[in-house]
Chain A
Amino acid sequence: MEPNNNQRIPYWNWIPAAFALSGIIVFIFATYGPPASSSGFVSTLNGFLAWMAPEYAASKAHYKAIPGPGSWLFTFVLGMAIGGFIAGRTSDKIPVRDIPPIWKQRFGESRVKRYAATFFAGFLILFASRLAGGCTLGLFISGSAQLAISGLYFGVVIFAVAMLTARLLYGKSAGKEDIQ
C-alpha cells in the first residue's frame, strides 16, 4: 500500500508503530492517568531544589503542583532516556548524530552553533509547555485522545508554526538539494 518498504529505510513503518505507541498510551491511561513528559522537567528540578533550595521550592506554586523524582512523572522521562539508549544500542541502522545533516548543510559543521540553537530551542519549548500545561505528548497527544479542545488547538498551532519555522530556517534549499 505504501511505497515505504524500501530496504534503505531503517525506521519502522508508521502504521504498526502507531499501534504500538497507542497501546502503550492506553496502558498508561489504565495504570496511571494521562501521560506527560514536560512535567518530568519540573519533577527533575523539584528534586534538585528540594536538596539545594527547599524553601524556594516550597514557596512556588509550580513546584508545589508537581511531585518530585519519586513519582511516575520522573521515572517516565527517566525511562524514556533508558528506552532511547536501549533502542539506539540495539539498532545499527539508525545513525546517532550530534548534528542533523540538514542543519550541517545550512549552518555548517559548528557544534557550538548547533548546541546553542538546541539549548535555546529547548528553553522555548519547555517555557511554552509549562505555560500551556503540557507538550506534544502531555497536551497534544494525551489531550486529544481525551478529546480536549486544548490538545487539538495546541496541536494545530504547533504544527503550523514549526512548519513555518523550518521553512524560514532551511529555506527552499532543503527540498531542492534532496539531502538525505
Chain B
Amino acid sequence: MTNIWLGLFSGIAFGFVIQRIGATDAHRMARSHLMLDADIPRFMLLTVALSAVGLFGLQSVGVGRISPLPTSIVATGLAAVIFGIGWGLAGYCPGTIWAAAGEGRIDAVFALLGGLAGTALFAQLHETLIPILYDPTNVGQITLTDLFGNYGVAVAVLAVGLGLCIWAIGKLWGSGDRVIAFERAPDSSPSSGDAEKNG
C-alpha cells in the first residue's frame, strides 16, 4: 500500500521536472536530436551521472534496491534501433508520453494509445521472440564494476566519461539560446554557425 503512494508521489515530482525542462515538448526534443539544442541531452547525461553517484552513496550505507537489466547483444541493440526510430519520429519516449499527455498534448495521447498497442503485441509475441532474439546473446547482468573490478572506480569512470560527453555536446550542439517557445517568426534572421553562439 505504501508503494502505491510512493509511486504516485515520485511520478508527480518526476513529471513536473521533465515538463519544466521541456522534455515533454516534442519540438524541443526534435531540436535536440537535430543538434540544435544541447540542453536536453546534457540534462539527461548529468542526471545519469548524479544518480550513479547518489546511488553509490546509498549502496555504501546499505540502502536501496538495485537490479541491473541483463545485456542481450541482439535484443538490446535491435530494440534500441526500433526505439530510436520511434523517438526521432515522435519526440516522445515512454516516460514523457505520460507527462505530455497529462499536460494536454493530443499527439502524446495518440503516442500513448500506440504504446499500449505496441505493448500488447509484444506481450502476445513474448514467448516466441524472447528465445529467438534475447536469450541466445544474453550475456547477463554485466556492469562497469565487472569491467573495472571496483564499484567506486567504475562510478568515477562513468561520471568522468559522461562529463566528457556533456562537454562535447556543449561544443557540438547549438547553445539552445535561440529556442523560443513561440510560433515561428516569419522574419527570423538566418542562423549563423551554431558553434559560434556557444562562445
Contact = CB atoms under 8 A, between A and B. Distances in A.
Interface string A18-52: 11111111111111111101101110110000000
A149 B70 CA distance: 8
B98 A40 contact: yes
Size category of the A interface is 35 or more
Contacts of B36: 174-175
Given A37-B98, A96-B103, A25 B51 contact: yes
A15 B46 contact: yes
Contacts of B46: 14-15, 18, 22
B118 A153 contact: no
Nearest to B54: A26
A148 B47 contact: no
B66 A146 contact: yes
Given A14-B42, A178-B189, A97 B105 contact: yes
B164 interface: no
Contact of B15 (A27, A61, A81, A98): A81
A135 B119 CA distance: 12
A138 B155 CA distance: 19
Contact of B88 (A8, A22, A161): A161
B168 interface: no
What is the predominant secondary structure among interface residues of chain B facing chain A? helix
B3 A84 contact: no
Given A17-B20, A97-B27, A145-B52, A83 B189 contact: no
Nearest to A18: B46
A87 to B, nearest CB: 4
A20 B46 CA distance: 11
A76 B89 contact: no
Nearest to B41: A159
Given A14-B40, A79-B10, A144-B52, A130 B118 contact: yes
A4 to B, nearest CB: 6
B7 interface: yes
Given A18-B47, A22-B47, A33-B64, A136 B93 contact: yes
Contacts of A136: 44, 87, 93-96
Contact of B143 (A111, A148, A170, A179): A148
B139 to A, nearest CB: 8
A60 to B, nearest CB: 6
29 contacts: A11-B28, A14-B46, A22-B54, A24-B13, A26-B64, A33-B65, A34-B65, A81-B102, A118-B110, A119-B114, A121-B89, A121-B111, A122-B112, A131-B75, A131-B129, A136-B93, A138-B94, A140-B44, A141-B48, A146-B55, A149-B71, A150-B70, A151-B68, A158-B87, A165-B84, A166-B34, A174-B31, A176-B191, A179-B184
Interface of A: 2-4, 6, 8-12, 14-15, 17-35, 37-38, 40-42, 44-45, 60-63, 70-88, 91, 93-103, 105, 111, 114-167, 169-170, 174-176, 178-180
**A-B pairs with lowest CB-CB distance, top 9:** A79-B11, A83-B15, A161-B84, A165-B88, A122-B114, A84-B99, A81-B102, A121-B90, A157-B80
